[in-house]
Amino acid sequence: MAYFGTTQNGKDVEKITIAAGDLTVSVLTFGAIVQEVRLSDVPHGLALGSDKLQDYETTMGYFGAIVGPIANRISNARVRLDGMMYELERNENGAVHLHSGSEGVHRSVWQVAVQTADSVTLALNLPDGAAGLPGQRDIRVTYQVSAPATLTMSIDGNTDAATCMNFASHIYWNLDGAENWDGHKLQIAADHYLPVDARTCPTGEIAPVASTAMDFRQGSAPHICAPDLDHNFCLSDGRQTLRDVLWLTGRSGLCMTVATTEAGMQIHDAATSQRPGKPCYEGLVIEPQAWPDAPNHRGFGSIAVTEDQPYAQVTRWRFTR
């Protein structure tokens, strides 16, 4: 563990590096960020990050972070729980709640609970009312590296009152080290996706991918703006056992296989996000999560959790050459 920097409000941030086999991963206590993913004999990192804490506190707020307690968008910035309506921060266009706003877990300094050579567990307490939601909530994220080249993430959340949880990893991936992701091949095991409106919020339709630009079932190479991508792909109706659902392959032939327990996979093309001095579209964001805006759409599944029904997600990234 090494000192990484001090936040604007005076909290120290540590960097933890874990490794096994051919894979080395660096994690920050700020935002539980995956700052770097390195594969032996590959001359560049696979996940986009920064060596400056200031970048993560400003323009790179979501890069590599865990986002939540509600990832993605809540279109009307409110949720109903046990007959009570909870108003959430409208931090996008003055109307939409995105990634839990300024009190999202990506803005927090997590505590190191357990650390070994190949794993680290980070812990965070969210007090009642944080991010606009009820419940004293304890969140734990574990990153584990295993040979030959696999990273597994487990997220667990407990609460003492009914609340909402839908966490997601928000890593930007570029397997080629190129200036953008164009040329990567993408395959997704999803027969349906969620169309979005002008605010990038789901319309409520669950649309077949067949005969559309969103059909990645057999694998294809999307191009910048063809199609525009900030959509949820529907993997299942609810949480499942861990299974392979997505394959991303660079021009070099390096492949990343993503397995998850989650029902959805948000794909974001980074059209509006960039690292300092770098272009937009540098990396593809692949976010395993429940379907976005679920509280506002019947048939999207529930993101409610209770003391008796806690939150649990497992996602795994496996790299092959």
Instruction: State the pTM of this model.
Output: 0.97
User: Which CATH number does the domain housing residue 212 bear?
Assistant: 2.70.98.10
- Res 169: pLDDT: 98
Number of domain units in the chain: 1
pLDDT tens digits, residue range 222-235? 999 999 999 999 99
Give the domain extent around 141: 2-320
- Whole-angstrom Cα distance, residue 139 to residue 236? 25
- Res 124: pLDDT: 98
What's the whole-number mean pLDDT along residues 266-285? 97
pLDDT tens digits, residue range 94-122? 999 999 999 999 999 999 999 999 999 99
pLDDT tens digits, residue range 55-71? 999 999 999 999 999 99
- Whole-angstrom Cα distance, residue 26 to residue 56? 15
pLDDT tens digits, residue range 67-82? 999 999 999 999 999 9
